[in-house]
Structure 1
Amino acid sequence: MGYPHRNLRLQAVHVPHAFEYANATARTGATGFATSDLFKLALQLDDYTVWMLTAISPVSWKQVGQTPQPTFPAGTRMLFQQSTAPTGWTKDTTVNDKALRVVSGAVGSGGSVAFSTLFGRTIVDSTTLVASQMPSHAHSTYINSSLMSATIQGLHVTNDNMDTTLIRLSGALSVQTTSQGGNGSHTHGLDLRLAYVDIIIATKA
């Protein structure tokens, strides 16, 4: 009695093969067969060939066909959301910690900062301002009259504050405000820790 549709009680219906092996090494190294396994079929996944078990001591196989190949030709590159490449594909380990960019022309690559480095930042770079970066502004001055006892052009200063609109100086008066600030740098907080899902690139063998 043959097994055209496999054992209806124990195995899936309408699946022509009883065994699956990753490659020829796994298939020829398989053991533990019983007499009832004779003439059952095995699918070899690396090239999708189909083999019949013709003997169990020693184990012997005969190729009886080949299933249709996947629609992806050799060299096809695809993205997979898993750590290892599927059977028949090779994981590309040369591309790591990068983002994806959609383009309308030829593909390429670029940039210099790793994905995890850029999107792991929580502050901007530290910067020290220079005079050209500050808004244009002026400083008012305050002159204490206790430091002045002379009459300037006939006007004696008695108040704590000088009204510069009333006083006309015959000479130059240089007044400098007290310096403030420590010339330090500053940062601004930000959070670029973008949520993401890791993928791999694999090439069809």
Structure 2
Amino acid sequence: MVTNILWHQHDVDKARRAQAKKQKPCVLWLTGLSGSGKSTVANLLEKKLAENGKHTYLLDGDNVRHGLCGDLTFSDKDRVENIRRIGEVSKLFVDAGIIVLTAFISPFRTERDFCRRLLADGEFVEIFVDTPIEECEKRDPKGLYQKARQGDIKDFTGIDSPYEAPENAEITLAFSGQTAEQSAEQLFDLLKQKGIVA
């Protein structure tokens, strides 16, 4: 363990950065199976937040795998590290006064709980995009389920790697035929209730 590193306290803090942006920073953590609609809903919600003058950043699973987490596989160990890195990056964005949206399968409760503990109370909003695997397989926008069923992709969540659904998410977007736009609107209303959006 490194012992010669100390935390340097800066004069401009999270509260001052948030005040400058006139918003309440937080992490909106969308979790669900591949093809559940996480990225689509997150994108629509970010657009709505931007239209309302909010400062945001969207961290998307595939995009992050091109850079920050490009050295990781999809083994359980690397999935844990993937989410640890995202949690730490999200914490930095919140410290900068930003509303962070994340769209990650993030299959394990322990890792999602770890990310929650990195933040202050009320700064982590877990959003379970609860789309049944049968529907995700029908959509299969990238053809991944088909490849996983054929054995071409190993450690695929929902097929040969587990997904642990949230037990206490702040909100569940249950698949019931509502559109992605309606889901984004539902989340926007939740943010108003929580005082994140005025």
Under a length normalisation based on structure 1, what TM-score does the superposition of the two structures give?
A: 0.24
More helix by share: 2
More strand by share: 1
Under a length normalisation based on structure 2, what TM-score does the superposition of the two structures give?
A: 0.25
Larger RCO, structure (CA 8 Å, separation 6 or more):
2
Give the number of the structure whose alpha-carbon radius of gyration is greater: 1
